[in-house]
A and B are shown apart, each in its own frame.
Chain A
Amino acid sequence: MPMNKQQQAPLFHISKRKALPWYQAWGIRGAAIILALVVCAVATTLMTGEDPIQVYITMFEGAFGTSRKIWILCQNIAILLCVSLAVTPAFKMRFWNLGAEGQVLAGGLATAACMILLGDSVPNWLLICIMIVASIAAGAIWGLIPAFFKAKWNTNETLFTLMMNYVATQLVAFFVIVWEVPKGAGKIGIINQSSEAGWLPVIGGQKYLLNILIVAALTIGMYVYLQYTKHGYEISVVGESERTARYVGIKVEKVILRTMLLSGAVCGIAGLLLVGGTDHTITTTIAGGRGFTAVMVAWLAKFNPIFMVLTTFLLSFLDRGASEISTIFGLNSSFGDILTGIILFFIIGSEFFISYKLHFRTSGKKEG
């Protein structure tokens, strides 16, 4: 039979893969990072004329150069991880909590309020206990409000939590003016600078060590909670299918409220660590966008608290490295963001190749 004119099959088509063994999946992720570094190198040379190897070394030094830099990196990881841990149970339940920013602010504001209002009147240990309770309660309430409306009237939690962020920001802005020192400065400054009342204790001579230890404990706790407890199991069932949950008698509304209470409470702890532990002041930007970066952290780690240590490390490293590049090479700070963007693009893109396979058109040959 004569071969007639050229087949016009599509150039490629996409099909779903079966689950890859873990080493292949990580191989693809590794290849993506290497590819990203190559593309970054080309972009760097073309756009700035700098030696890409030198740029990478600078990036690395920016994150690990001195022991101080390592501590700062760890602190950044800890806080980002804390917020990411907070949103994870909600996300696992398919409750899109984009309000971590506001919940952290609420926790921070409660901490600052305790420090300012009670700083001189109660003993320090009691003050810190009150701060802990207040910050957790404030974050939890901020998380509970949208959850209540969701459970009761099925409102859209994405919009609701997002709006709550603005409310929290404005509340903080208001109290910054109420408590500003000195009058007219428009900021609070360091709270209780002389008495250090309400400052979380420094352990081991390292300012950030306490935060890091608390978050490490939280990570393990969250992992166990989600993986091995009945609550964690209920969260997974509700997230996968509310109808299945109702079918087996899980009270979906109760699970939503309970989980958002937890999510908000952990955000409150992040606020406590920021205000009471490191910054000792409060501003409207103290959450620093971590509530949104946390979304990416949680997704990249597929909601597994242990993997989240890796993803927060990656994002914090890129962030620190990028700012170092712009300082050392005198480049616009956007350049660091471009590199971060390229790397994230490749990492997120690699997930596509883990789940799907491309088949290219085989050239002309046909069997039988």
Chain B
Amino acid sequence: MGNEIAAVEMRDITKTFGTVLANDKVNLDIYRGEILALLGENGSGKTTLMNMLAGIYFPDSGQIRIDGKDVVIRSPKEAYDLGVGMIHQHFKLVDVLTAAENIVLGLKEKGRLNIDAVAKRVRNICEAYGFEVDPYQKIYDMSVSQKQTVEIVKVLYRGADILILDEPTAVLTPQETDKLFAVLRNMKADGKAIVIITHKLHEVLDVSDRVAVLRKGQYVGSLVTKNTSAQEMTNMMVGHTVTLNIDRPAPVDPKPRIQVQGLTVRSSDGILKLEDVSFTAMSGEILGVAGISGSGQKELLEAIAGLQSVESGSITYVDDAGNREELTGKDPLKIAALGVTLSFVPEDRLGMGLVGSMDLTDNMMLRSFRRGRSVFTDRKSPKTLAEHVVQELEVDTPGVSTPVRRLSGDNVQKVLVGREISSAPTVLLTAYAVRGLDINSSYTIYDLLNKQKAKGVAVVYVGEDLDVLLELCDRILVLCGGKVSGIVDGSSATKHQLGLLMTRLGGEDAHE
């Protein structure tokens, strides 16, 4: 490998956003016939670096060479012309068009558009690498993994031989991930250069040949995958030694807290989101919720929090003394009026949990501003609370009067979680609480959840990283297409088992 010319050489690439140094003199080589894992924590500049290769951003300084020649990439089109294609984390597809239509969209081919010829070429690409795509299927009919396949085929159709995949497995089940990796290996065998951006170590070990590590915008070094270990990579990524274990203290005196019976929910456009869901969340316990994204997790939490109208079924709250309160059909205000302190950390932090343009103090007020009879708002106690949260959770902010939008993702989440647990809840609902957080902040959050658990709070943890779910949760409820596919014990279940439950009801092979 050493003697051949690198497909891509990036030299001294620097990029700043305002005063944030996203990439600082980064050097990176990418070779053909190799899968390179670009590893780093969130915010370490992986995506920024690759966006410069794909023509989305333009570097402040530095030089990119492709096949030994200096190039300037000013737009995604110029990147394609050089054979560089990127599959972004958020798909860029038109829902109402078919796969083939999406694939040719934006290409300036001479003559009339012949969609059948396009479909044929798409099929050829699929056969060559082992994809499964129906060129005539509409995007809105596709699963997340099918959409991703379309994105990859789109890039190949444009003749790319340097492929960049930005966190491709974030939305996939373990089984789908295996399929994707098989395809990537086929492409590697075909001599393509492949970069996958990731922060999941087991994937790096599984699929890559070489791993390059970024930390805080700087290039730390690269390793040959087979000569390294998860612990070594973590240390490089974080910069100091970290332990990779999450605590799971045994639940103390668990009692039923939230009982859900036969819950059925439809979205506003009539689509069935949850069907006959029944389970019990216990006090002093972390109940994990797993499932492919969009399997009803959001609706489940919002229904309990009183934000989602329920078609049938019931949600009952049981307090310590055994008194039962019906929560079904009540809005958040009415639930609070019953004396039920229910906290909810939603998935969409700045669009739902917080107001981005408001400062920390005003965001702390969101839950409490109604207190008191005065028509004027009281900003004193929220300010004290904001200062308290900043100190307790080590929020990195210039002050409590900084708009939360200006904070980094980690700190935004700390502010949100800090506010939600400040009301001493008896039920804590969290959706993707560590998504986008670096390792240290993730552990801060796990600790906070465990502390709430120790206080006897019923914690519901909707997660996507199965390894974390298996290490943190006492029991895991698996949703599949809006139904309960199974409830398993966190300490004895396996990832494979969860993966099967996520894709098939009950985890069995279909018999009918």
Contact = CB atoms under 8 A, between A and B. Distances in A.
Interface of A: 4, 7-10, 13, 15-19, 228-233, 236-237, 240-241, 243-244, 246-249, 359, 366-368
Contacts of A10: 58, 74
B61 A367 contact: yes
A244 B17 contact: no
Contact of A230 (B331, B333, B362, B376): B376
Given A240-B357, A244-B352, A16 B377 contact: no
Contacts of B60: 359
B333 A236 contact: no
Contacts of B369: 230, 233
Contacts of A367: 12, 61
Contacts of A231: 375
Contacts of A8: 72, 74
Contacts of A18: 18-19, 406
Given A15-B17, A16-B17, A240 B352 contact: no
23 contacts: A8-B74, A9-B72, A10-B58, A16-B17, A17-B18, A229-B376, A230-B369, A230-B370, A230-B376, A233-B369, A236-B358, A237-B366, A240-B358, A241-B351, A241-B356, A243-B351, A244-B352, A247-B305, A247-B307, A248-B332, A248-B367, A249-B332, A359-B60
Interface string B33-69: 0000000000000000000000000101100000000
A247 B344 contact: yes
Nearest to A4: B70
A247 B332 contact: yes
A62 to B, nearest CB: 40
Given A228-B376, A248-B332, 18 more contacts: A4-B70, A8-B72, A8-B74, A9-B74, A10-B74, A18-B18, A229-B375, A232-B377, A233-B362, A233-B365, A233-B369, A237-B358, A237-B366, A240-B356, A240-B357, A243-B351, A247-B344, A249-B336
B346 interface: yes
A233 B369 CA distance: 8
Contacts of B104: none
Nearest to A243: B352
Contact of A228 (B70, B331, B356, B377): B377
Given A18-B18, A248-B332, A368-B12, A237 B352 contact: no
B327 interface: no
B52 to A, nearest CB: 12
A92 to B, nearest CB: 11
A240 B70 contact: no
Contacts of B72: 7-9
A106 to B, nearest CB: 28
B163 interface: no
B228 to A, nearest CB: 30
A146 to B, nearest CB: 22
Nearest to B74: A10
Interface of B: 12, 16-19, 58, 60-61, 70, 72, 74, 305, 307, 331-333, 336, 344, 346, 348, 350-358, 362, 365-367, 369-370, 375-377, 406
Contacts of A15: 16-18
Given A16-B18, A249-B333, A366 B355 contact: no
Q: Which of A19, A243, A247 has the most CB of B within 10 A?
A: A247
A233 B18 CA distance: 30
Given A10-B58, A13-B58, A249-B332, A244 B366 contact: yes
Contacts of B346: 247
Nearest to A7: B72
Listed from nearest, the 9 A-B pairs whose CB atoms lie closest are: A249-B332, A249-B333, A240-B355, A243-B352, A248-B366, A8-B72, A18-B18, A247-B352, A229-B375
A264 B328 CA distance: 37
Contact of A244 (B12, B58, B355): B355
Q: Which of A4, A230, A243, A246 has the most CB of B within 10 A?
A: A230
A312 B116 CA distance: 61
Nearest to A359: B60
Contacts of B370: 230
A246 B58 contact: no
Nearest to B72: A8
Given A10-B74, A240-B356, A249-B332, A366 B61 contact: yes
Contacts of A232: 377
B348 A243 contact: yes
Q: Which of A18, A246, A249 has the most CB of B within 10 A?
A: A249
B18 A244 contact: no
Contacts of B406: 18-19
Contacts of B358: 236-237, 240
Nearest to B18: A18
A349 B350 CA distance: 29
B310 to A, nearest CB: 15
A367 B376 CA distance: 57
Nearest to A366: B61
A15 B367 CA distance: 35
Nearest to B354: A244
B352 A233 contact: no
A15 B60 CA distance: 11
Contacts of A366: 61
A269 B413 CA distance: 45
A230 B377 contact: yes
Contact of B352 (A4, A13, A241): A241
Contacts of A9: 58, 72, 74
A311 B406 CA distance: 28
B446 to A, nearest CB: 24
Contacts of A13: 58
B420 to A, nearest CB: 11
B151 to A, nearest CB: 27
A232 B350 CA distance: 20
Contacts of B348: 243
A41 B19 CA distance: 38
A117 B39 CA distance: 80
Nearest to A228: B376
A88 to B, nearest CB: 16
A215 B344 CA distance: 44
Q: Which of B60, B333, B336, B355 has the most CB of A within 10 A?
A: B355
A243 B344 CA distance: 13
Nearest to A246: B307
A236 B17 CA distance: 28
Given A240-B356, A244-B366, A229 B351 contact: no
A366 B59 CA distance: 13
Nearest to B333: A249
B333 A233 contact: no
A18 B18 CA distance: 6
Contacts of B305: 247
Nearest to B12: A368
Contacts of A240: 355-358
Given A9-B58, A16-B17, A233-B362, A241 B377 contact: no
Contacts of A368: 12
Contacts of B353: 244, 247
Contacts of B355: 236-237, 240-241, 244
B402 to A, nearest CB: 9
